[in-house]
């Protein structure tokens, strides 16, 4: 329990927690507009990581349909990240069209939307496996060009490492959060989005094209999902097509912890879970995957509306 | 006929076993609550049976009880299911909406991490060589069959008494039900715990059936599959879980030539049923029957 360990854990927690926050915001945006959880978000996260990998590296492993294929050109990593995220946004729109819109038009039970989005997730994940196999993909270590892998400080005689990827994780997440905050709080489009979230019927009477804004929300949500997938993939490697499932579930813990539908809540929840995982004592590290879900239970017991959620209303 | 059972017997036993898991999700759905916890309780129930069946500590018990060790395992799994079910369900079920689904997903994940870290559960390898109750795996129908009949009877009886009406009232409109004096939380917890108990006992019966037990029995994917049985079969029909399980368990056999791409098709089936048959197979059949009857009667 020395100071260097605390500092190292704080750094690790903040960088991974900020990615959790960006990822969880994708859930929050859709939830605040439709009141349902998009279970395909974890699949879009996975897709984003694979797309960026394809664009930046251009070659695949030995399994799957695309095994011998290599792309004619590859992009530098920042461009690949951006294009991968935009394509993930389009995938998010496809999820809305396939899994949510047909059900909304029929006025179906909201529980069904949950299952249909799980169905789409199943399709995406298995399609990835079919195309590129179930093997582990790691980004090459030279994707950041000449930047060093890590900078090591000495604190009280003990080393504290700041990995380059941690800085990139944190910086990219902060840029996304700031951009999103600006869009929702300061622009006309953001205002219309808030109106749609408040009451879709009234918004449509006031001339807001609700379906277009729902589609736009799914685009942003997919973009956030794909971006965070890439960041996690660069940081820890892509452990196969199912690697998004556990992050997808962790993202649910983040939004419940922060308060369902609350944007600041998702950010706070992400950081709390990231820090909670990082500050787990080393001898309990095998329980790391349970931290998020234990926190979820704890919050349901003591403050079910989440850290920043409003009072749970009882609508008739 | 005997040839038929030799070829398809295992498939039929598996269908009944999976239909039991579907039914365990059907119970909370009767009160309008979506729970994905079943697979966690199934996993825990299986570990109870696996540990009691193989651990040296229980060797004297096994020697003394013989075949009756199996019912004792079911009893222990049942008690565990009820106690844990109340502990998990109560905090989540005070709330309305999606909270139970989220809490139960968390429960499944925590169970998974916990069993991987328990030496007695054999870590990632799991537990091997669980004693068999029967010579042939087909005979396990004598475990699953009666349990299935019992569970179906409970569902059938519940719908005829006040408790079932209270479930349906909570499902249709929780606020109105509460206003009419129905104790909504108590009813939701009861429906949830019935499902947990059934899943735990099914797990305890399945450990000998499958011979080995490990953490892969309790994944998130598996819990989604169980939910799919109910929704594809029809979430408002007693027979829905059986029909859904029959379809989804035999689908991979039928689609075997498709190999790797058959999971993609599974997803397509899930989406298509949600969109085109929102009441599931049983609901679709009922609608068809209504239409045919209307046609015969000449009522437009």
SS (HEC) of A244-277: HHHHHHHHHHHHHHHCCCCHHHHHHHHHHHHHHH
Residue A313: is its pLDDT beyond 80?
A: no
The CATH class given to the B13-258 domain equals: mainly alpha
Nearest to A305, CA basis, from B258, B96, B83: B96
B260 in contact with chain A, both atoms CB, cutoff 8 A: yes
A117 Cβ contact list (under 8 Å, min separation 6): A37, A38, A39, A40, A95, A99, A100
Using DSSP bridges, classify how beta strands A158-163 and A150-155 pair: parallel, antiparallel or unpaired.
antiparallel
To the nearest whole angstrom, how far is the Cα of A165 from the nearest Cα of chain B? Answer: 28
User: What is the per-residue burial (b if ≥16 Cβ within 10 Å, else e) of A130-153?
Assistant: bbbbebebebeeebbeeeeeeeee
Residue A303 backbone zone (phi > 0: left; psi -120 to 50: alpha; other: beta) = beta
B228 in contact with chain A, both atoms CB, cutoff 8 A: yes
How far is Cα of residue A72 from the mean position of the Cα atoms in its chain?
30
Across the interface, whether the CB atoms of B96 and A312 are under 8 A apart is answered yes
B245 Cβ contact list (under 8 Å, min separation 6): B15, B16, B18, B19, B21, B22, B229, B233
Residues of chain A positioned with their CB less than 8 A from the CB of B109: 246, 249, 289-290, 293
* Residue ranges in chain B modelled with pLDDT below 70: 1-6, 257-261, 296-300
Nearest to B238, CA basis, from B23, B31, B16: B23
User: What is the per-residue burial (b if ≥16 Cβ within 10 Å, else e) of B79-102?
Assistant: ebbbebbeebbbbbbbbbebbbbb
Which segments of chain B does DSSP mark as H helices, in order? 2-30, 38-54, 59-65, 69-93, 99-116, 141-158, 162-172, 174-179, 184-210, 220-233, 240-254, 262-276, 280-296
The CATH class given to the A3-302 domain equals: mainly alpha
Structure token pair of residue B247: 């379809």
CA distance B174 to B157: 22
Give the residues across from A161 on adjacent strands.
A152
**Which residue of B98, B263, B271 is in closest CB contact with A126?**
B263
CA distance A213 to A189: 9
pLDDT tens string B144-164? 889 999 998 888 888 888 777
Residues A149 and A141: beta-carbon distance below 8 Å: yes
State the pLDDT at residue B231.
83
B119 in contact with chain A, both atoms CB, cutoff 8 A: no
Across the interface, whether the CB atoms of B261 and A130 are under 8 A apart is answered yes
Nearest to A289, CA basis, from A228, A256, A255, A243: A243
**Which residue of B116, B260, B275 is in closest CB contact with A103?**
B275
pLDDT tens string A234-289? 888 888 888 888 899 999 999 999 988 888 899 999 999 999 999 988 888 888 88
Residues B59 and B231: beta-carbon distance below 8 Å: no
DSSP state of A289: G
State the pLDDT at residue B39.
93
B258: closest chain A residue by CA: A130
- Among B267, B280, B283, which would you mutate to test the A interface (most chain A Cβ atoms within 10 Å of its Cβ)? B267
**Which residue of B235, B268, B278 is in closest CB contact with A123?**
B268
A118 in contact with chain B, both atoms CB, cutoff 8 A: yes
Chain A, window 145-184: residues with a beta carbon less than 8 angstroms from a chain B beta carbon: none
To the nearest whole angstrom, how far is the Cα of A112 from the nearest Cα of chain B? Answer: 6
Interface ipTM: 0.83
pLDDT tens string A47-106? 999 999 999 888 777 777 777 777 777 888 889 999 999 999 999 999 999 889 988 888
A31 Cβ contact list (under 8 Å, min separation 6): A37, A38, A255, A260, A261
CA distance A53 to A64: 16
Q: Where exactly are the structural domains of chain A? A: 3-302
CA distance A135 to B164: 49
Across the interface, whether the CB atoms of A112 and B266 are under 8 A apart is answered no
A129: closest chain B residue by CA: B260
To the nearest whole angstrom, how far is the Cα of A9 from the nearest Cα of chain B? Answer: 22
Structure token pair of residue A158: 């003990």
pLDDT tens string A212-223? 889 999 999 999
- Higher-scoring residue by pLDDT: A311, A39: A39
CA distance B148 to B246: 14
State the pLDDT at residue B260.
65
Q: How many helices (H) and strands (E) does chain A have?
A: 12, 2
State the pLDDT at residue B80.
94
Q: Is the dihedral of CA B23, B25, B31, B37 positive or negative?
A: positive
- Among A290, A302, A305, which would you mutate to test the B interface (most chain B Cβ atoms within 10 Å of its Cβ)? A290
Nearest to A2, CA basis, from A161, A158, A163, A152: A158
Backbone angles phi, psi at A307, to 5 degrees: -60, -45
CA distance A20 to B220: 20
Residues of chain B positioned with their CB less than 8 A from the CB of A118: 224, 227, 270
B45 Cβ contact list (under 8 Å, min separation 6): B77, B80, B81, B199, B200, B201, B202, B203, B204, B206, B207
Across the interface, whether the CB atoms of B98 and A99 are under 8 A apart is answered no
Across the interface, whether the CB atoms of A289 and B261 are under 8 A apart is answered no
Radius of gyration of chain A (CA): 20
Burial of B221 (0-12, 13-18, 19+ CB in 10 A): middle
Continuous segment of H or E residues that includes residue A79:
helix A77-95
Across the interface, whether the CB atoms of B260 and A130 are under 8 A apart is answered yes
pLDDT tens string A23-42? 999 999 999 888 888 999 99
């Amino acid at each position: 329990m020395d100071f260097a360990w605390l500092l190292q854990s704080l750094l690790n927690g903040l960088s991974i927690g900020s990615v959790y926050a960006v990822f969880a915001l994708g859930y929050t945006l859709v939830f605040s507009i439709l009141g349902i959880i998009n279970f395909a978000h974890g699949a879009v996260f996975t897709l984003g990581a694979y797309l960026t990998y394809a664009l930046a590296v251009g070659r695949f492993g030995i399994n799957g349909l695309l095994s011998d294929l290599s792309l004619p050109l590859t992009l530098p990593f920042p461009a690949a990240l951006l294009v991968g995220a935009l394509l993930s946004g389009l995938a998010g729109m496809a999820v809305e069209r396939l899994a949510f819109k047909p059900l909304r038009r029929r006025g179906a039970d909201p529980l069904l939307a949950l299952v249909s989005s799980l169905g789409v997730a199943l399709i995406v994940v298995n399609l990835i496996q079919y195309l590129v196999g179930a093997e582990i993909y790691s980004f090459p270590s030279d994707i950041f060009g000449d930047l060093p892998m890590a900078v090591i400080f000495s604190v009280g005689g003990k080393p504290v490492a700041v990995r380059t990827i941690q800085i990139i994780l944190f910086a990219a997440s902060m840029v996304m959060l700031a951009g999103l905050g600006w869009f929702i709080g300061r622009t006309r489009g953001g205002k219309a989005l808030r109106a749609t979230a408040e009451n879709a019927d009234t918004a449509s009477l006031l001339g807001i094209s609700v379906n277009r804004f729902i589609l736009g929300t799914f685009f942003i949500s997919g973009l956030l999902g794909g971006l965070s997938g890439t960041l996690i993939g660069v940081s820890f490697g892509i452990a196969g097509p199912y690697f998004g499932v556990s992050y997808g579930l962790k993202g649910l813990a983040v939004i419940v912890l922060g308060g369902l539908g609350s944007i600041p809540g998702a950010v706070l929840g992400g950081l709390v879970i990231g820090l909670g995982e990082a500050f787990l004592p080393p001898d309990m590290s095998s329980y790391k995957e349970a931290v998020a879900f234990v926190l979820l239970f704890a919050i349901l017991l003591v403050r079910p509306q989440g850290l920043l959620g409003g009072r749970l209303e009882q609508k008739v | 006929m005997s040839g038929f059972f030799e070829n398809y017997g295992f498939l039929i036993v598996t269908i009944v076993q999976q239909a039991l898991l579907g039914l365990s999700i059907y119970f909370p759905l009767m009160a309008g609550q979506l729970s994905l916890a079943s697979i966690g309780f199934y996993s825990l129930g299986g570990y109870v049976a696996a540990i009691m069946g193989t651990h040296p500590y229980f060797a004297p018990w096994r020697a003394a009880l013989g075949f009756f060790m199996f019912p004792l395992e079911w009893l222990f799994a049942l008690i565990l299911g009820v106690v844990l079910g109340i502990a998990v369900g109560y905090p989540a079920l005070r709330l309305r909406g999606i909270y139970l689904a989220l809490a139960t997903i968390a429960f499944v994940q925590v169970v998974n991490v916990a069993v991987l870290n328990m030496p007695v559960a054999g870590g990632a390898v799991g537990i091997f060589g669980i004693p068999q109750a029967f010579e042939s795996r087909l005979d396990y129908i004598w475990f699953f069959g009666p349990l299935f009949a019992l569970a179906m009877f409970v569902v059938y009886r519940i719908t005829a008494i006040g408790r079932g009406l209270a479930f349906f009232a909570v499902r249709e409109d929780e606020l109105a039900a509460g206003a009419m004096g129905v104790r909504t939380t108590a009813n939701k917890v009861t429906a949830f715990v019935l499902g947990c108990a059934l899943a735990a006992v099914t797990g305890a019966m399945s450990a000998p059936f499958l011979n080995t037990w490990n953490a892969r029995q309790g994944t998130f994917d598996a819990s989604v599959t169980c939910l799919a049985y109910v929704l594809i079969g029809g979430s408002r029909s007693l027979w829905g879980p059986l029909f859904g399980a029959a379809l989804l368990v035999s689908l991979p056999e039928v689609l075997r030539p498709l190999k790797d791409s058959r999971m993609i098709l599974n997803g397509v089936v899930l989406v298509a049923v949600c969109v085109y048959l929102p009441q599931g197979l049983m609901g679709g059949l009922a609608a068809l029957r209504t239409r045919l009857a209307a046609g015969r009667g000449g009522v437009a």
